[in-house]
Amino acid sequence: MNVTIVDYNSGNISSVINSFKEVAKDKVNIEVTSDLSTIKTSDKVVLPGQGSFKSCIDGLNSINGLIETLNEFALESKKPLLGICVGLQMFADIGYEEVETKGLGWISGKVSKIDNQDGKFKLPHIGWNEINIMKDSKIFKDIEDKSHMYFVHSYEFVPEDKSVISATTDYSSNVVCAAEKENIFGTQFHPEKSDKIGLKIINNFISL
């Protein structure tokens, strides 16, 4: 089986690569590439995202044909795809970080700044926070509700259809921290930085 981590210049993704390789060991082939044919023929794809919504979308657009290839993989072939941090946010129709930027439009919704309640909550939201698992999800298999995950973000994904929300975290309000729609999964937290529980989530995705 091949799992491809998409490399599109979205900041340092070495911890994502290392965590997937640690979980996969020799059982699964982990590729890190922006090569379109490799992505197309993969069994699963991971879309990491570090930096701003705009910089990540610009990164995808900078590689000719990449967005079309990801659309084909996720929407037509319906193969499993995991978005991490801004990787999840890009599923939305639109993001408002820096400037209004069009997203991938895979899960209807928007990405807006977390309401810090006039400075009561620090932004970015950095550190460990407990998650509330909202529904039975394959990527949360054998993960306990109220587990702690590692976050670094100032913006939140606000989906139109609340049924896609698989977990929230309480920071100023109920912030969506995991969403899924059919074969498309995303986490706002960083599983690759969330210790053994995060590795379990990575393993659950690889095992889909």
Catalytic residue list: 85, 190, 192
φ, ψ dihedrals at 75, nearest 5° = -95, -30
- The dihedral sign for the CA sequence 6, 7, 11, 13: positive
Beta bridge partners of 176: 168
Buried b (16+ CB within 10 A) or exposed e, 152-176: ebebbbebeeeebbbbbbebeeebb
Q: Do 84 and 50 contact (CB within 8 A), yes or no?
A: no
Q: Could you tell me the CA-to-CA distances from 31 to 38, 71, 189 in Å, in that order?
A: 8, 19, 22
- The dihedral sign for the CA sequence 182, 186, 191, 197: negative
